[in-house]
Structure 1
Amino acid sequence: MVRLHTNDLSIGYGERLIVKNLSVNIPDKKITTIIGSNGCGKSTLLKAITRIISHQSGAVLLDGKNISKENTKTLAKKMAILPQTPEGASGLTVGELVSYGRFPYQTGFGRLSKRDYEVIDWALEVTGTIDFKFRPVDALSGGQRQRVWIAMALAQETEIIFLDEPTTYLDMAHQLEVLELLQKLNQEQERTIIMVLHDLNQAARFADYIVALKNGEIVKAGACEEVMVPEVLKEVFQIDAVIGKDPRTNKPMCITYNLLKGENHNEKVNHPVYAHASSHY
């Protein structure tokens, strides 16, 4: 089932197009990861789909409706986004920050209702941050802060959550902690998760569906096994990758790779260095 999709979406800054005529279907109640090299349009695409920035042409459709025509509060009840570097939490306690997720539901003077407080506590419980409720956000570790931001997104009670590089600046343990939390939200609450990730093996391990971008266009979109193949990674990242299987998850994983240099990188595969590396497999 697909509730969210784009039709011939083009996004740019001034006269420079970053994303070009992109059409993609986002599987409902699944985890989708978007991969690609720096500057390929991953974050730009997320911002346009969530209406943070406008698009030049095409459309983003949610439940058959063009989001550009949706009321802001109505849209905020359907989708939440956690940007790459969340800001604006300085001086706030954890509980106060998470309460911002209730904005779409507030009326009148914006006072929190009993229902709002119940949802805030639920979001803190689910993310394992309830013990930090009265602590300043500034006093938390990077991993703790990221879970608090996810709690704020959960407090919006949306069925769709976007995250732009949610593991950035986190160590390996905290990266895994955040990704396992998102997987749990997807599996237990059927939240649709769309996120940008740089780590290919994390993308393959946690995603049901992967979208690989290059220069603002889709090279390949599909199941992990369809996207995590040498040919696609060669086109997207200019690498000669060796793909195996994760012994714990049975998902595809990049075991090793060589960098293909120069404009004619297709010819570089036969270079003695690459030929020697490939002979081991």
Structure 2
Amino acid sequence: MVRLYTDDLNIGYGERLIVKNLNIQIPDKKITTIIGSNGCGKSTLLKAITRIIPHHTGEVILDGENIVKENTKILATKMAILPQTPESASGLTVGELVSYGRFPYQKGFGRLTKRDYEVIDWALEVTGTIDFKYRPVDALSGGQRQRVWIAMALAQETEMIFLDEPTTYLDMAHQLEVLELLQKLNVEQQSTIVMVLHDLNQAARFADYIIALKDGEIVKAGNCEEVITHDVLRQVFQIDAEIGKDPRTNKPMCITYNLIKGENKHEKTTDSIYSTFAVNY
């Protein structure tokens, strides 16, 4: 089943197009991961799908309706997004931050109801952050803070959660902690999870569906066996990858890789910078 899809979506900044004629379908109640090199349009796509930024042309359709025409509060009851580096006002407690997730349901003066408090406590319980409820967010570790942000998204009671690089700046243990929590939410709460990840092995391990982007266009979309392949990774990242099987999950994993000389854009850009430096100085 597909509730969310795009139709010939074009997204850009000014005259420059970042995402071009994109047609994707987000499987409902599954975990979808978007992969690709820096600057390929992953975060831009996520922001456009959730209406944080406008798109140039095309449509984003949710439940048969164009999201551009959707009421903001109603849309906020259907989808929640966590940006790459969320920031909260200094001095907020965990409970106060999570309470912001109830905004779409507030009326009048915005006072929290008994139902609101029940949902906030539920979100804290599910994410294992109930013991932090009265602590300042600033006093938490990176992994704890990320779980609190996920709790805020859960407090919105949406069926779809979008996350832009939720494991950034976290150590390996906290990365796994966050991804296992998202997997738990998908299984137990039937949440549709859409996230951007850089780690290919994490994408293969946790995703049901992977979308590989290059220069704002889809190279391949499908399950991990279809996307985490030598040919796809060569095209998307310009790497010569050795693909094996994860002995614990039996899913594909990138064992090692080399840069493909002459095809790596970063290498060319660096050479250009050095040449300019030599000429000017």
TM-score (norm 1): 0.93
Tell me the residue number matched to 1:133.
133
CA distance in 2 between partners of 1:90 and 1:202 (Å): 32
CA distance in 2 between partners of 1:196 and 1:90 (Å): 27
CA contact (8 A) 1:89 1:138 kept: no
Matched positions, count: 265
Tell me the residue number matched to 2:256.
256
Q: CA deviation at 1:211?
A: 0.1
TM-score (norm 2): 0.93
CA distance in 1 between partners of 2:21 and 2:261 (Å): 28
CA distance in 1 between partners of 2:242 and 2:200 (Å): 12
1:151 aligns with 2:164: no
CA contact (8 A) 2:19 2:217 kept: yes
List 4+ stretches of structure 1 deviating above 3 A: none
Question: Equivalent residues in 2 for 1:177-192 (5 A)?
Answer: 177-192=177-192
CA contact (8 A) 1:204 1:253 kept: yes
Kindly provide the amino acid, as one letter, of the partner of residue 116 in structure 1.
Answer: D
CA distance in 1 between partners of 2:76 and 2:96 (Å): 18
Cα deviation 1:196-230 (Å, max 9, x = unaligned): 00000000000000000000000000010000000
Cα deviation 1:150-193 (Å, max 9, x = unaligned): 00000000000000000000000000000000000001111000
Tell me the residue number matched to 1:19.
19
Q: CA deviation at 1:95?
A: 0.1
CA contact (8 A) 1:98 1:155 kept: yes
Tell me the residue number matched to 2:54.
54
Cα deviation 1:238-281 (Å, max 9, x = unaligned): 0001111100001110011110121499xxxxxxxxxxxxxxxx
CA distance in 1 between partners of 2:89 and 2:224 (Å): 36
CA distance in 2 between partners of 1:264 and 1:23 (Å): 27
CA contact (8 A) 2:2 2:27 kept: yes
Structure 1 residue ranges without an equivalent (≥5): 266-281
Structure 2 residue ranges without an equivalent (≥5): 266-281
Kindly provide the amino acid, as one letter, of the partner of residue 253 in structure 1.
Answer: M
1:91 aligns with 2:91: yes
CA contact (8 A) 1:34 1:197 kept: yes
Q: CA deviation at 1:115?
A: 0.1
Shifted more, 5-14 versus 87-96: the winner is: 87-96
1:209 aligns with 2:196: no
Aligned to 2:104, what secondary structure does the other structure show? helix
CA contact (8 A) 1:89 1:137 kept: no
Cα deviation 1:49-91 (Å, max 9, x = unaligned): 0000000000000011000000000000000000000012421
Tell me the residue number matched to 2:246.
246
CA contact (8 A) 2:7 2:24 kept: yes
Tell me the residue number matched to 1:268.
none
Structure 1 residues 241, 109: CA separation in 2 closer, same or farther (over 3 Å shift)?
A: same
CA distance in 2 between partners of 1:10 and 1:90 (Å): 37
CA distance in 2 between partners of 1:190 and 1:234 (Å): 34
